[in-house]
Amino acid sequence: MSDAGTVHPIRVTINGETYERTVESRQLLVHFIRDTLALKGTHIGCDTGNCGACTIIVNGRLIKSCMMLAVQADGAEVETVEGLASDGELDPIQQAFHAEHGLQCGYCTPGLLMSATYLLRQNPDPSEEEILRGVRGNICRCTGYVNVVRAVQVAAGGEPTAGGGKREEAAR
């Protein structure tokens, strides 16, 4: 509590837009993004960096934004879920999650999309095992991960073979 009142000016670029704000020393980056900037797409599911709902990309690296202070993001380039779609069009990873039903409640989804985005940047053709490891920092309680893996397989240009593959063609 001793430095609770200490504040710092920071300048952060998020999805191409630059924000200058004054933040408390102790403010978490995720609270800065959600509460200060009202970018509500990045979610919070735990207090300990386990769940991955708040996963974003900072200076090209995948991080959990509850594990970083807002002041540490001073000068950084940040990517969040809101930056994935362009002109309202879903990007390939979002399209694949839609096609493969890789989400149910949608709460973990923004974090999973950022992890998948990062994974495919590092490794454009991941194996099933590499996908499982690539998203192990994201807890999902709805999907059992099978359709998440299928979605990443499809986003990588492959077939959704996880769990024996999908059962039938979609109506749409």
Partner 1 sequence: MRAETVTAPAETTDELGRWSGKSVRRTEDGRLLKGQGKFADDHWVHRQGFAQFVRSPHAHARIVSIDTSKAMSLDGVFTVLTGEEAKEMCEVPFFQIAPEPGGKLQEWPLAVDKVRYHGDAVAVVLAETRELARDAAELVEVEYEPLEAIVDGIAAADPGAPMLHEEIGSNVAWQGTYDYGDIDWALENADHVVKIDRLHFHRFSSTPLECNAAVVDWDPGTGVVEVFSNNQMPMFGSMVIGPTLGVPSNKLIFSSQDIGGAFGIKIGSYPQIAALALLSKKAGRPAKWAESRSEHMLSAGHGNERSFVDIEVPVQSDGTILGFKLKAFDDAGAYLHYEPLGAVIWSQVTPGCYRLKHIRVDFTQTLSNKCPTIPNRGYSRLQHLWMIERIVDVVAHELDFDPVELRRRNYVQPDDYPYETPNRCVYDSGDLPRSLELALEAIDLPKWRQRQRELGTGSGKRIGIGIGSTLDSGTNNFGQARILNPELPFSGNGEAAYVKLDLYGEVNVNIGTTPQGQSHETTAAQVVADILNMDHGEVNVTAGFDQRHNTYVAFSGTYASQFAVTGLGAVMGAARKLREEIVTLAAYALEADEDEIVVEDGACHVRDDPERAIPFIGLANIVLSNNAVLTPELRERISLNCRYVYTPPFEVPDPETKTGNITLTYASQIHAAVVEIDEETGKLEILDYVAVDDCGRVINPQIVEGQVHGATALGIGAALYEAFDYDSSGQLQQSSFYEYHALTAPDMPMMKYADIESPSPFTPNGAKGMGEGGGAPLSTICSAIQDALGDGDAIVSDSHNPWWRIHELLRSGENGGARGVEVASR
Q: Which residues, numbered 92-131, are part of the site for partner 1 (CB under 8 A)?
A: 94, 97-99, 101, 103-110, 113, 128-129, 131
Residue 133 binding partner 1, by CB under 8 A: yes
Query: Measured between alpha carbons, how far is 62 from 169 in angstroms, rounded to an integer?
Result: 34
Residue 46 binding partner 1, by CB under 8 A: yes
Residue with smaller CB distance to partner 1, 12 or 64: 64
Residue 80 binding partner 1, by CB under 8 A: yes
Residue 44 binding partner 1, by CB under 8 A: yes
| CA-closest candidate to residue 30, choices 11, 7, 49, 8 | 49
- Retrieve residue 7's tokens: 């504040």
Q: Out of 76, 148, 154, 155, which residue is the one contacting partner 1 (CB under 8 A)? A: 148
Residue with smaller CB distance to partner 1, 77 or 82: 82
Q: How many CA atoms lie within 13 A of 83 on its CB side?
A: 15
Smallest distance from partner 1 to CB 62, Å: 15
* Helix and strand counts by DSSP (H, E) for the chain: 5, 5
Residue 132 near residue 100, CB atoms below 8 Å: no
Residue with smaller CB distance to partner 1, 75 or 144: 144
Residue 70 binding partner 1, by CB under 8 A: no
- Sheet of 61-64: strand order equals 17-24, 7-14, 77-79, 55-58, 61-64
| CA-closest candidate to residue 109, choices 68, 138, 146 | 138
Query: Measured between alpha carbons, how far is 61 from 66 in angstroms, rounded to an integer?
Result: 15
Among the candidate windows 6-14, 34-42, 70-78, 119-127, which touches partner 1 by CB under 8 A? 34-42
Residue 147 binding partner 1, by CB under 8 A: yes
Smallest distance from partner 1 to CB 74, Å: 19
Residue 29 binding partner 1, by CB under 8 A: no
